[in-house]
Structure 1
Amino acid sequence: MALALLLWLVLAIVYDLRERRVPNWLVLFGGVFALAALATTQPFDIGWSEAGLGAAVGFGFLLFFYATGLMGAGDVKFAGVLGLWVGLSDLIPIWVVASLMAFAHAVLWRKLRDWPIFPRLTSMVVGPSRASEPDVPARRVRIIPYAAYLALAAAVWMVWGRQGS
């Protein structure tokens, strides 16, 4: 099941970096495998209550950022399912690392926006433009792939952070 989690994390990283969104099928895929892991051989030694608390806090806390228009719904759902996989106690350091990476991304974006010498680098940081799409309002354009940073921090946690556990 750890391999399923790693595959899910890699898919989320690639998809969110390329598209700046996390599709529902990917969130559902992660949720189904997290529930299967909890029911069988959970690779991270957490129980249903710890997993449920991680999911509730991961989803609930980021819901505020979605409501204010600062985050996409896919990021919020992804955080909830990630909490289901790892539980609250391990979700918190993953969250902190992902937030620091997202902050660094935002700072880099602000600097590159004001200094457009490297347009390809700027477009990589900003992501795909959806301004030309008629059904996407301007406020829904996402600059920071937060789910990708959550997934990257979780993958690093899986490889190095769990070795001492």
Structure 2
Amino acid sequence: MTVLGLLAIGVCLRIAISDLYARRVPNTWLLAACVLAVPLLLAGQFQAPPLPWPAHLLGLLIGLAALLPFHVIGWMGAGDVKFFAVLGLLLGWHALLPVWVIASLAAGVHAVVALGSRQLTTLLPMRLQLQVNRASAHWQAHPAARGVQAARQGRHGIPYAAYLAVAAIGWVLVTTHGGTA
């Protein structure tokens, strides 16, 4: 496993936790990953075989360009777009398509389950609906749930950056330990 792969795994873990908990992708972590990646890419030019820095730079540009339209039309947060660009820098352009496909499929399943569960509760018998509502109210009053809601500051949505992070970790592990990508 390369140092860039290890850096990508570390950043992905931090981003996934933040996105799941607070629905935020911290710019400081993305900037730190870039600040660490650039010298690693430059140093990689002095090893045999040299690190293909154009593939990583192209990954940054493609990652930014690919998801930016979704942010412009309001379907995605800016943090998701920036994170995908950083993944392109860390992993190279060839990692972006598999990571994007896997993350998008996971986000789609998430959306179907979220929408389906809302519809399902309306089909339940009234007594069961009351129990579901009581359980939900009990959970919302729990200090852990209040902490999550306070951290999210009203932000809702699917944690797409977390899905990107999990897909990227999977890609790094598969390509490092005998898989093909």
TM-score tier after normalising by the smaller chain length = 0.7 to 0.9
> Pick from 127, 135, 156: which aligns with 2:170?
156
Shift of 1:108: 1.1
Shift of 1:129: 4.5
> Which structure shows the higher helix fraction?
2
> Pick from 79, 84, 100: which aligns with 2:84?
79
Does structure 1 residue 104 correspond to structure 2 residue 100?
no
> Pick from 13, 16, 20: which aligns with 2:16?
13
SS state at 2:74 partner: coil
1:33-55, CA deviations, whole angstroms, 9 ceiling, x for partnerless residues?
2213212248xx75221111111
Does structure 1 residue 63 correspond to structure 2 residue 89?
no
How many residue pairs match? The answer is 149
Q: 1:142 to 1:64 in 2, by over 3 A?
A: farther
Cα distance in 2, alignment partners of residues 113 and 46 from structure 1: 49
Cα distance in 2, alignment partners of residues 33 and 95 from structure 1: 23
Structure 1 runs not aligned, ≥5 long: 121-127
Structure 2 runs not aligned, ≥5 long: 122-131, 140-147
Identity of aligned residues (%): 39
| Alignment RMSD | 2.3
Normalised by the length of structure 2, the TM-score is 0.73
Shift of 1:57: 1.1
